[in-house]
Amino acid sequence: MPVWQLHCCSLSHHATSLFLLSHRGVWSAGGLEVSTGKVSVIEAMNGSTVLLPCTYSSCIGIKNLYFNWKYNDNGTLLKLCEAEIPNEEVEPDVAIYHDRVEFVGSSKTSNISILLWNITFEDEGEYICFARNPKEKNRNHSAVFTLIVVDQMREVDNTLTVIIVSALGGVIGLVIIVMVIKAMVAKFLRKDDEKNKECLVSSSGNDNTENGLSGAKADNKGTPKA
């Protein structure tokens, strides 16, 4: 088969795939996405208030976006709140089904987060943020946020940090001591060299006086008379 026919077939197949995907409403890129952020697991103190974050995004925008929050109670999903957002400019009228839940999101920032007040150990578990966008042929997506309730926050073990810092301090101190010793030794060596030079100059002068002068005197003696 000629090369141009192969390219033609490939393009045709690719176009057909895109056509089917677009009509099924399952665009893989830029579709509706829901996210609970980079940290989806958090530990919180018993009795504190916790933010359950959730945001949505869609490259083609939203229309009558439906969302809800649910709590996974050992396999049973309990609805905490729900609402519908007509568009990005309209704030949702949120229905709350839990007396300690507060909606703190905003359609202008694509934020559908909630607060959970005065948490207890019974509140521990998975919280599911769900959204559905009719503008994308009811494409939907969800994200899970896990809450762990504790009596007290875990202390960070700084033992390794202390050891490293101590080791570095010891090394630095040792280097300084070595440098000081080297400086002192070099100073003493310089003094010894100066003393040695003085001794050498002095001794060489004495030798020249003794040998040289005697030699000179010998040279200056007159020739013996015959």
Express each pLDDT in 29-51 by its tens digit. Answer: 458 999 999 889 999 999 999 99
Cα pseudo-dihedral 98, 102, 105, 111, rounded to 10 = -50
pLDDT tens digits for range 120-156:
999 999 999 999 999 999 999 999 999 999 998 766 5
Q: Choose the weakest-confidence range: 88-92, 112-116, 177-181, 203-207.
A: 203-207
Question: Based on the number of CB atoms within 10 Å of its own CB, is 50 exposed (0-12), middle (13-18) or buried (19 or more)?
Answer: buried
* pTM, full prediction: 0.56
Q: Which residues contact 99 (CB under 8 A, 6 or more apart)?
A: none
Count other Cβ atoms within 10 Å, centred on residue 32. Answer: 22
pLDDT tens digits for range 69-121:
999 999 999 999 999 999 998 999 999 999 999 999 999 999 999 999 999 99
Question: Based on the number of CB atoms within 10 Å of its own CB, is 132 exposed (0-12), middle (13-18) or buried (19 or more)?
Answer: buried
DSSP letter assigned to residue 38? S
